[in-house]
Every structure is written in C-alpha cells, then in structure tokens.
Amino acid sequence: MQIRRTRGERTKWQQVKEMVKAGEGGLHVGDEILDTLKDGQKMAYVVAHITEKEAHFISKDCMPERVAWNEQGGNAGGFRKSTLCRHLNTEVWKRLPEGLRAVIDERECLQIVDGEEEHFPLKLWLPTEYEVFEDSYYSEVQEGEQFEIFKDVRNRIKGAGDGGSRDSWWLLSAVGDSYKGACGVDRNGISGAGRCNTKLRVPVCFTIKI
C-alpha cells in the first residue's frame, strides 16, 4: 500500500487512520492511498473531503462491474433500501482487505425522498448530488455540502476499474419528481439521472473519523 503525493510513501491502514487523527500535517485533500482488493484488483483511494470530525475517501476509479440502483425499479425507500446499497455493503465490503475494513467508521448519510428526510449509518456509501456539484439539478434539496475534491470538474470523471475508460457512475440521491429515478455522474463529469434499474458503475467510498 502507498500514499501518493509527489512521491510514494509506504504505509498501512492503521497508519492512515493515525494520520487522519493528526489533523493538519497528516493527510490532505487529493492525497491518494494505493491498495489492492482481495481479488487482486488495484485501487487508488483519494482523500475527497476533511471536516473537524472525519475524512472521506473515494476511489479514483469505479469498480469494474455495473450495478442497478434498484433492480425492482423506482426509488421507494431511497438509497438505504436500494439494491446498490446492499451490493456495496455486502459484496464490495467482502472484497476489501482486512486492514482497510478495520479502520472504516460508519458515516451518517442523509437522503430525501418525496420530501421525507432520513439519516442512517453506512460503512460504504455514495456521495449525494449536492456533495458532488454543489447544486440540486435532479434531487429535491441540498443534501450535505460539496466535497473539496469535486470543486475541480476533472475529479468527477471516473474510469472503469484500474485505469479503464471513463464511464457514468451512480450517486446516493433520488430524483425528486415523478420520474422516480436516481442521480448520477456522466462520463464527462456532468450531472445526470437514470432509471433505477439501469446498470452503472460505482466507486468505493468510506469514512475514517478523527
């Protein structure tokens, strides 16, 4: 495993957690931590946003497989009850190395579906539309604050797998009208929306608390 800034630094996930807790002088937005999944796939996790309480990490590229936001169609129950949420926190979770799983903390996520606000904890999550774009193009209202990493549109573009071609990827937010779809990011880093049974890519997103 490596942290990639201007040079590689050998580290372990427990050291990464200690660097998060160190605050200033530890990790910075844009730092990359290089690691490998249990199946051998290489992953680069980017420090996306840091608050007084936690640091959020998002993989530079997406997982190789495409997944439906909700196989049954529609966004009833929001992300918390979606096929995608279950996939991330079961199938993807099992593929993470033990050292990484040991330092991941639950993040309190916020979703708003049909005007109803709900908070819930997750180990693996996705950013909301507002956290990526600082606007609500398709979702109902502001959910969270824009992540520092996404202020540069280039960082909204993600490839498929390790260095794969760019592709569209899902977000946590549900579309806020009768369309009953979900929000996503297209291959050019632009906000979009799709039917929930459409299969798109997903990054690996997790939180380490300070």
Residues in contact with 172: Cβ distance below 8 Å, sequence separation at least 6, in sequence order? 79, 109, 111, 125, 126, 127, 128, 129, 143, 183
Report residue 172 as tokens.
């946590």
Give the integer Cα–Cα distance in Å for 177 and 181: 8
Q: What is the pLDDT of residue 6?
A: 41
Whether 77 and 146 map to the same domain: the answer is yes
Average pLDDT rounded to a whole number, residues 46-65: 96
Q: How far is CA 27 from CA 19, 32, 105, 110, 155, in A?
A: 6, 9, 17, 25, 18
Q: What is the pLDDT of residue 3?
A: 56
Whether 84 and 141 map to the same domain: the answer is yes
Higher pLDDT, 120 or 143: 120
Whether 37 and 70 map to the same domain: the answer is no
Confidence of residue 1 (pLDDT cuts 50, 70, 90): low
Q: What is the pLDDT of residue 5?
A: 52
> Where in the sequence is the domain holding 168, given as residue range(s)?
63-202
Whether 48 and 78 map to the same domain: the answer is no
Q: What is the pLDDT of residue 69?
A: 98
Can you give the pTM of this predicted structure? Answer: 0.92
Domain count, the chain: 2
What is the tens place of the pLDDT at every residue in 2-39? Answer: 555 544 444 689 999 999 988 766 899 999 999 999 99
What is the tens place of the pLDDT at every residue in 81-140? Answer: 999 999 999 999 999 999 999 999 999 999 988 888 899 999 999 999 999 999 988 997
What is the tens place of the pLDDT at every residue in 158-194? Answer: 998 756 789 999 999 999 876 789 999 999 999 999 9
What CATH code is carried by the domain that includes residue 8? 2.40.10
Residue 207: inside a domain = no
Whether 78 and 128 map to the same domain: the answer is yes
Whether 46 and 135 map to the same domain: the answer is no
Q: What is the pLDDT of residue 8?
A: 44
Whether 69 and 140 map to the same domain: the answer is yes
Q: What is the pLDDT of residue 102?
A: 96
Query: Does residue 56 register a pLDDT over 90?
Result: yes
Whether 35 and 91 map to the same domain: the answer is no
* Average pLDDT across the chain, whole number: 91
